[in-house]
């Protein structure tokens, strides 16, 4: 089942069950997918599950930053709302890669690309994206690649 269909099915289920919080969270996700559709239409391209996963990861990043700011600003109720949205969004992401598998992939990518330092980080990240695809969390991978290349 495609990710888009799964999200729409979950929206219908939440609406029938009267789960207004979940409905609002999933509608936020569908709005982002519609934005991707509009952008893709201009390029005559189709939105893939990989594009949707990338958008979901960016949504998580922005909500994590918002939750942190709310906590620092003394607004825990708003931070909890953001964290609830993060949990809903994460439910649509593929399982995270095991850190040891990611580290092994980094070592392999460094050898494959013959990376010598930080200037080759882009090559290593491209090799990792090619190997792991949508399962790769770019933020986590980037931190580990930096640590490996600067060591």
pLDDT in tens, 124-150: 888 888 888 777 888 888 888 888 888
Residue 66: in which H helix or E strand, if any? helix 49-72
Tell the residue number behind the tokens 């580290």, with chain if given. 103
The full length of the chain comes to 151
pLDDT of 23 above 90: yes
Residue 51 pLDDT: 87
**33 vs 6: CA distance, rounded Å:** 13
Report yes or no: 93 and 56 within 8 Å, Cβ to Cβ: yes
* 91, 98 Cβ separation under 8 angstroms: no
Indicate the pLDDT class of residue 36, thresholds 50, 70 and 90. very high
Instruction: Note the pLDDT of residue 113.
Output: 86
Q: How far apart are CA 6 and CA 1, in angstroms?
A: 7
Q: What is 112-124 written as a DSSP string?
A: HHT--SGGGHHHH
Residue 69 in tokens: 């700011």
Q: Over the chain, what is the mean pLDDT?
A: 89
pLDDT at residue 1 above 70?
A: no
Q: Cα separation of 13 and 16, whole Å?
A: 5
Structure confidence at residue 31 as a pLDDT band (50, 70, 90): very high
In sequence order, which residues have a C-beta less than 8 Å from that of residue 26 and are 6 or more positions away?
7, 10, 11, 14, 88
Coil, strand or helix: which one is 97? coil
């Amino acid at each position: 089942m495609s990710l888009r269909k799964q999200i729409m099915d979950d929206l219908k289920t939440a609406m029938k069950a009267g789960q207004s919080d979940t409905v609002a969270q999933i509608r936020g996700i569908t709005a982002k997918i519609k934005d991707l559709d509009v952008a893709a239409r201009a390029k005559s391209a189709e939105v893939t599950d990989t594009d949707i996963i990338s958008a979901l990861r960016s949504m998580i990043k922005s909500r994590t930053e918002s939750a942190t700011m709310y906590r620092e600003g003394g607004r825990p109720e708003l931070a909890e709302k953001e964290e609830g949205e993060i949990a809903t969004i994460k439910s649509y992401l593929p399982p995270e890669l095991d850190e040891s598998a990611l580290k092994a992939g980094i070592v392999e990518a460094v050898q494959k690309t013959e990376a010598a330092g930080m200037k080759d980080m882009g090559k290593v990240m491209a090799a990792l994206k090619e190997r792991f695809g949508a399962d790769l969390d770019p933020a986590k991978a980037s931190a580990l690649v930096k640590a490996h290349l600067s060591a």
